[in-house]
Structure 1
Amino acid sequence: MEMKEMFKEFDFNEKPKKVISVINGLNLPDDYLAFISKHNGGEGPLGENNYGRFYKIEELEAINEEYDVQNSWPGYVVIGGIDDVLWAYNPEKKVYCQIDSCNTDEDTYYTISNNFEEFLIKMDGELSD
């Protein structure tokens, strides 16, 4: 599935005034920054089976502090999610993943992908019947 198709019913935010590339001392990846610089996140259906939100770039630092990400999931930056599922990125490992917000054990992280597009496609695929 192409990205355009993945986001066909997604409700995007307005473009950000400024793109921040470092959150809590961690560098955000280029593929995510390319997405956020055009859309600044949003909320809605993703692909055929998923639903969620990507936070606005200017809200990421506050959201990561609110979730206490640096202590609960060190090395990760939360970029979105839905309900108890967080979508995160680890710049050192260069991976995107899903995290159960009630669990801090790295062995339980799932949908691990090396790029943004693959991450979205894998998430959608994991939710299909």
Structure 2
Amino acid sequence: MSESIIKYLGKMNLNAPTTTANLENTEQILNIQFPMNYKEFIKEFNGAEGEIGPNKYVVFWSLEDIVELNEAYEVNEFAPGLILIGSDGADTAYAFDNRYNSKPIVEVPFIGMDLEEVKVCTDTFEEFLEYLYKS
């Protein structure tokens, strides 16, 4: 994993690693190929929670939670094409926009979840960590 990703995770509680098989199974269930730098993160830590930067809190869900919570929030009904991967611990969800080959990372409100409410944040997971760190 790149040092630039590691530096943003310093204050976070990191989960234990997961297996390649678990990652591949999750991708199959959700019909997505996660971007490589996200795969590296999720395989090594399978989620994380805590402060990122001076004023931001984030929860990156484990693979198991990603599957369960996308179903629970009925993402396919309200925002088809999005794959939620975490939140700010409050009212904003973070997701990959699987409608595009580049799979940008977006923000969307939990309440009133709708594709019209999607805000593109960045194109890569590493850029997303920097975005969170600086916001």
| Shared fold (TM-score, shorter chain, > 0.5) | yes
Residue 28 of structure 1: how far off its partner (Å): 2.0
2:72 aligned with 1:90 = no
C-alpha separation in 1, matches of 2:48 and 2:61 = 7
C-alpha separation in 2, matches of 1:23 and 1:63 = 13
| Unmatched tracts of structure 2, length 5 or more | none
Which residue of structure 1 lines up, in the alignment, with residue 5 of structure 2? 3
Q: As a proportion of its length, which structure holds more strand?
A: 1
**Alignment CA distance shift 1:74-1:31 (3 Å):** same
Which residue of structure 1 lines up, in the alignment, with residue 108 of structure 2? 99
- TM, length-normalised to structure 1: 0.85
Residue 12 of structure 1: how far off its partner (Å): 0.5
Residue 119 of structure 1: how far off its partner (Å): 1.2
| Unmatched tracts of structure 1, length 5 or more | none
Aligned residues: 126
- TM, length-normalised to structure 2: 0.82
Provide the alpha-carbon RMSD of the alignment: 1.9
C-alpha separation in 2, matches of 1:90 and 1:119 = 13
What percent of counterpart residues are identical? 26
**Alignment CA distance shift 1:23-1:113 (3 Å):** farther
Secondary structure of 1:19 counterpart: helix
